[in-house]
Amino acid sequence: VALSANGPVTLWARDTSWDRDNPRLPGVTLPDAIRVTDDLRAATQADTLLLALPAQALAGFLADHAALLNGRHLVSTAKGIDLHKLTGPSSLLTDACPKATVAVLTGPSFAADIARGLPTALTLACANRDAGKALQHDLSTPVLRLYRTTDVTGAELGGALKNVIAIAAGVVIGAGLGDSARAAIITRGFAEMTRLSARLGARPETLTGLSGLGDLTLTCTSVQSRNFRYGQALGSAQPFDAGTTVEGAATARAVSALAARLGEDMPIAAMVAALAERRVSVENAAEMLMTRPLKEE
Ligand SMILES: NC(=O)C1=CN([C@@H]2O[C@H](COP(=O)(O)OP(=O)(O)OC[C@H]3O[C@@H](n4cnc5c(N)ncnc54)[C@H](OP(=O)(O)O)[C@@H]3O)[C@@H](O)[C@H]2O)C=CC1
Ligand SMILES: O=C(CO)COP(=O)(O)O
């Protein structure tokens, strides 16, 4: 919707029976500049393709369709770590489409806000500096402001990891543990995010930018966030719609596996994985985090 301000856009989906009112974006009728199609071959004629799939669906989609995407500029919006390969979307894309230019679009941005034309700032990460500059130019609009980085690892890890911490923040609020505890979870969660990201080669300034701290702040403080709301439901023992995409649940498991492999301590991520799998109660999780050995900050 935002990019159609710059010119014609083709939107592909496997099911287009909703015509111009996609139930996944309620209240928004797609502008005429958007052509909706279920023909992937036609949609992949464009040079630049944005892949807006959930992280756990991306590998399967690529296994089926990589040939149509190879050689293009591929921009992933997915915020998660693949459970089986334990990598972010950029590696999945590079492995499946070695001739493509791969980029990641991430940062604090609720789809509903962007579609309403509200001002939003994002991070466009591309290892190829010139291609990144061209994409930054093509994908920015007067209300969608893209900052550029070559640190793809840092940008995609920030987006993936903040979802895990947002679930933890939601649990805290849902369980009535208070705003002070939420601030502690956000801060100690950010410490986990920066530790793991640095270990995987990310630059510290990427984590303190829009794609890290920026998105962490948004997602841990807004009930618009599905990850936060899922955490709230866990914390208050309420049901949660299984059809809603909650990237942080699978990513918490992926992060725990990755951290174990690297020998990194990620207690909040491990606790979110345990809570999502119902291996621990909220009361026990809080107690276990609070009674860990005392340490330096
Ligand atoms: N929503 C938001 O505010 C933001 C989301 N993101 C990230 O973008 C990614 C996508 O999120 P979002 O759009 O909200 O997720 P949704 O679950 O709302 O929508 C996902 C879309 O992907 C389609 N899809 C899922 N699996 C497949 C598949 N195997 N093949 C083809 N299409 C598939 C779905 O199709 P169908 O409808 O047919 O099921 C749907 O159109 C996530 O990683 C999310 O974290 C990033 C920034 C903001
Ligand atoms: O990534 C997002 C905002 O930047 C969307 O967050 P949720 O997936 O938690 O709704």
Q: Whose CA is nearest to atom 22 of ligand 1?
A: 53
ipTM of the complex: 0.98
CA distances from 235 to 228, 231, 286 (A): 10, 6, 11
Query: How many CB atoms are located within 10 Å of the residue 133 CB?
Result: 13
Find out whether 176 and 282 touch, Cβ atoms under 8 Å. no
- Find out whether 111 is annotated in a ligand binding site: yes
- Residue range(s) of every CATH 1.10.1040.10 domain in the chain: 157-290
Domain with CATH 3.40.50.720 in the chain: 3-152
Render pLDDT for 128-187 as a digit per residue (tens, 0 to 9).
999 999 999 999 999 999 999 999 999 999 999 999 999 999 999 999 999 999 999 999
The catalytic residue positions are 162
Rounded CA-CA distance 233/93 in Å is 33
pLDDT tens, position by position, 67-92: 999 999 999 999 999 999 999 999 99
In this structure, the residues whose C-beta lies within 6 A of any atom of ligand 1 are 13-15, 24, 52-55, 57, 60-61, 77-80, 109-111, 245, 247
From the alpha carbon of 77, which atom of ligand 1 is closest? Answer: 8
Q: CA-CA-CA-CA torsion for 121, 126, 129, 132, nearest 10 degrees?
A: -50
Distance 24 CA to ligand 2 centre (A): 14
Architecture label for domain 157-290: Orthogonal Bundle (1.10)
Instruction: Tell how far the Cα of 244 is from the centroid of ligand 1, in angstroms.
Output: 10
What's the CA dihedral at 16, 20, 23, 28 to 10 degrees? Answer: 150
pTM: 0.98
Question: To test ligand 1's pocket by mutation, which of 1, 19, 39, 53 has the most ligand atoms within 8 angstroms of CB?
Answer: 53
Going by pLDDT thresholds of 50, 70 and 90, the confidence category of residue 19 is confident
Q: Which CATH architecture has domain 3-152?
A: 3-Layer(aba) Sandwich (3.40)
Dist. CA 54 → ligand 1 center (Å): 5
How far is the C-alpha of 53 from the C-alpha of 99, rounded, in Å? 21
pLDDT of residue 22: 93
